Chains A and B, each alone.
Chain A
Amino acid sequence: MAKKDAPPRWDRKMQQRLARGEAAALGEFYDRFASLVHGLAHRVLGDERAADGITRDVFAHVWEHPETYDPQQGPLRSWVAGLTHRLAVQRLRATETAALTQGGEGAVADTEELERKVHRASVAARADYIVQAMPTPLRAALELAYFQRRDYRQAAADLSITEDEARRRLRLGLQLLSTAHDTGAPGAPPGYGGAA
């Protein structure tokens, strides 16, 4: 799944190489983050072509303005996720607003419903990111319990851990995941710093 153990050194070097205008660095950057970017954009927008468009915009932004990333503020991965989130939610709001004005088929009924839809998409995307970024032991426990319907005792046996530990991982994993609901200041999407 996600490569999340890239040391900050990698982040800083990557930023320098992008700033220097190294096309090879852009390729490496894409290979590391494209599935994250595309996946988040798709979760927000629910559309393949739209997600492709956001992917293009995110990488273009990074390539044109690598200096806007500040390594002091956290890992490159969280920053890329936050950027993707912002652009995708902007796009969703724009297309939904346009549909609302034109009153087309499948458009939301009013601005209140629009905001609810944007909020739901936003939370869902953050939740995806949190699951990807959480420590593997937590994710593994959640996957067993949720997708494979194992109870915590079976999960403990599957993972060769104590039952106490299995309960602890399930609870901790859900606690992390529940932060997807926390919204902070607009423009600085939360949820991409803490869990990364």
Chain B
Amino acid sequence: MSDRFEAYDEHDEDPDKGTGDDIEERSTPVGSSGHGSEGGSGDGTDDGDNPSGRPDQPPRIPLPRASVEDTGRPLPELDELPPPAPLVLEHQVLKSLLGAWALAACSAEETAAVEDHLGDCGSCAEEALRLRGAVGLLQRPESLDLDPGLRTRVLDSCLERRPPRIPIPKWALPYDAETARLDALLQDFGDAEWHAPVRLRWFDADEATSRRTTVAGVMAHLLSVDGLVAVALGLDDPMGETPADAPTPAGRTEAYWRASHFPPTRSVRTPWREQSHDLVRTVSFTGGTTGKLAVPYGDFSLPLHDAMLDRAFECWVHAEDIADAVDYPYEPPSPRHLNRMIDLAARMLPAVLADRRQKGLAAPAHGRHLVPAGMPGRTLRLEIEGHGGGEWLIPLDSPAALGSAEHEVAHVALDGVEFCQLAAGHVPPAEAAAGQVGDREAIRDVLYAAASMSRM
């Protein structure tokens, strides 16, 4: 940065050095008193542009007070009555003060000296005029918070006018949108925000669990877990040489946190953002063929298109953690994307239920209802209200069974964002504000299964 700055400087100073009369002027001491106090009006360059008044100072020899009033001449400004101690500065110094003077950022003595000098020095007067004019152009920046909906509208309108040759696969759009939203949130963060404490919360073995970190720590977490997808796609692993404790999201995160000598800082933003761009770009080029590629998460794996949805969901959940920590508002994803995230959770539920049943965490399947694969079985109807909502039929007895309205044994209704909070482990299943009808055991199993999908 300072290199650029120096380069600027040289470039800018050149014309200045070129003006030969500087040298002459430099050797002439220019005081604030004595000469030229009436001079400014002569050349007209400072007319009306010298807001603190032309130095219409009284003559050095004070006239008797009464006679001043009698002449009808304007009275001197009050604050000029005790004339500032004359400050003798060289032209070069006075010139260097012009910026500070224009911004009213120098001392009273310096101000007086500069203003006195402007009456004598045409080049300084001209510059002073120009710099004063520039001060009026300083404005507070407009609010930088863009409506995230604008991104979708603008991009959609572009793609309509000229269809892309290499589109982003539909299933990667939520990830593209959520990472862009989070990146925009980080845009103006200072050190205080980057180091603000965050408590990550999730459910482990049906217990609420949490882990303390910082905003930068959350970004390191997202970087290292998104890395699971990067590795599956053959991209570089952001973990570098650091071995993960386990090939799981938590195992990678803990190892990443430990490996840095210092707590994560804002410097984590760039690699995170570059990786997210690389992921979107790579799946755009290979999308048609890689959608089913398995992305291993350690103890399970997801097809690539679901993994990208999962990462979009995690990005939103953690963006909310970050926004909470720094007291910023943060909206849920667009309804279209929220719907895809809910759909992913709903599709994962039957397998999670079966797994929990094996571990004795959910009620055993009722023998009489053992259903062959592809056949309808006992079903819970999950009704998600609000934007992005819908209805999902969750087969209860086997991931291979079909959900069926005719075999509905329970009905749960809750708001889309509330459901996502539950699946993120931010709301205990017992407290989820859900409308419930039917088999209470089935409902309990499903709500606990939803919460158990949460992780660090």
Show the binding face of A for B, using Cβ within 8 Å. Answer: 1, 20-28, 30-31, 34-35, 38-39, 42-43, 52, 55-56, 59-60, 63-64, 123-124, 127-128, 131-132, 135-138, 142, 145-147, 150-153, 155, 164, 166-178, 180-181
Min Cβ gap B167→A in Å is 5
B284 near A24 (CB under 8 angstroms)?
Answer: yes
Binary flags per residue of B151-195, CB closer than 8 Å to A gives 1, else 0: 101110111011111111000000010001001100110000000
- A124 CA / B142 CA spacing, docked (Å): 12
Q: List the B side residues contacting A131 at CB < 8 Å.
A: 138, 141
Q: Is the interface of B mostly helix, strand, loop or mixed?
A: helix
- Name the interface size band of chain B: 35 or more
Known contacts A26-B164, A30-B155, A180-B134; 20 further A-B pairs (Cβ under 8 A): A1-B141, A21-B164, A21-B165, A22-B284, A23-B166, A24-B280, A30-B151, A34-B150, A39-B142, A56-B157, A63-B159, A132-B141, A138-B5, A145-B100, A152-B100, A153-B107, A167-B96, A170-B105, A172-B9, A181-B134
Min Cβ gap B150→A in Å is 6
Min Cβ gap B347→A in Å is 26
- A25 CA / B277 CA spacing, docked (Å): 9
A39 near B134 (CB under 8 angstroms)?
Answer: no
| B165 (CB) vs chain A CBs: closest residue | A21
Binary flags per residue of B139-155, CB closer than 8 Å to A gives 1, else 0: 11110101100110111
User: Per a CB cutoff under 8 Å, which of B9, B105, B144, B158 touches A26?
Assistant: B158
Asked, given contacts A135-B8, A175-B12, whether A151 binds B107 with beta carbons under 8 Å apart, the answer is: yes
A64 near B142 (CB under 8 angstroms)?
Answer: no
Show the binding face of B for A, using Cβ within 8 Å. Answer: 1-2, 4-5, 8-9, 12, 96-100, 102-103, 105-107, 127, 130-131, 133-135, 137-142, 144, 146-147, 150-151, 153-155, 157-159, 161-168, 176, 180, 183-184, 187-188, 277, 280-281, 284
- A128 CA / B168 CA spacing, docked (Å): 34
| B130 (CB) vs chain A CBs: closest residue | A178
Q: Is the interface of A mostly helix, strand, loop or mixed?
A: helix
Min Cβ gap A16→B in Å is 12
User: Per a CB cutoff under 8 Å, which of A21, A24, A146 touches B176?
Assistant: A24
User: Per a CB cutoff under 8 Å, which of A20, A63, A138, A145 touches B158?
Assistant: A63
B1 near A23 (CB under 8 angstroms)?
Answer: no
- A25 CA / B282 CA spacing, docked (Å): 11
Q: List the B side residues contacting A152 at CB < 8 Å.
A: 100, 105-106
- A147 CA / B142 CA spacing, docked (Å): 14
B8 near A24 (CB under 8 angstroms)?
Answer: no
Q: List the A side residues contacting B184 at CB < 8 Å.
A: 31
A174 near B134 (CB under 8 angstroms)?
Answer: yes
B166 near A24 (CB under 8 angstroms)?
Answer: yes
User: Per a CB cutoff under 8 Å, which of B8, B102, B167, B277 touches A23?
Assistant: B167
A178 near B180 (CB under 8 angstroms)?
Answer: no
| B167 (CB) vs chain A CBs: closest residue | A23
- A28 CA / B107 CA spacing, docked (Å): 48
Min Cβ gap A67→B in Å is 13
B142 near A42 (CB under 8 angstroms)?
Answer: yes
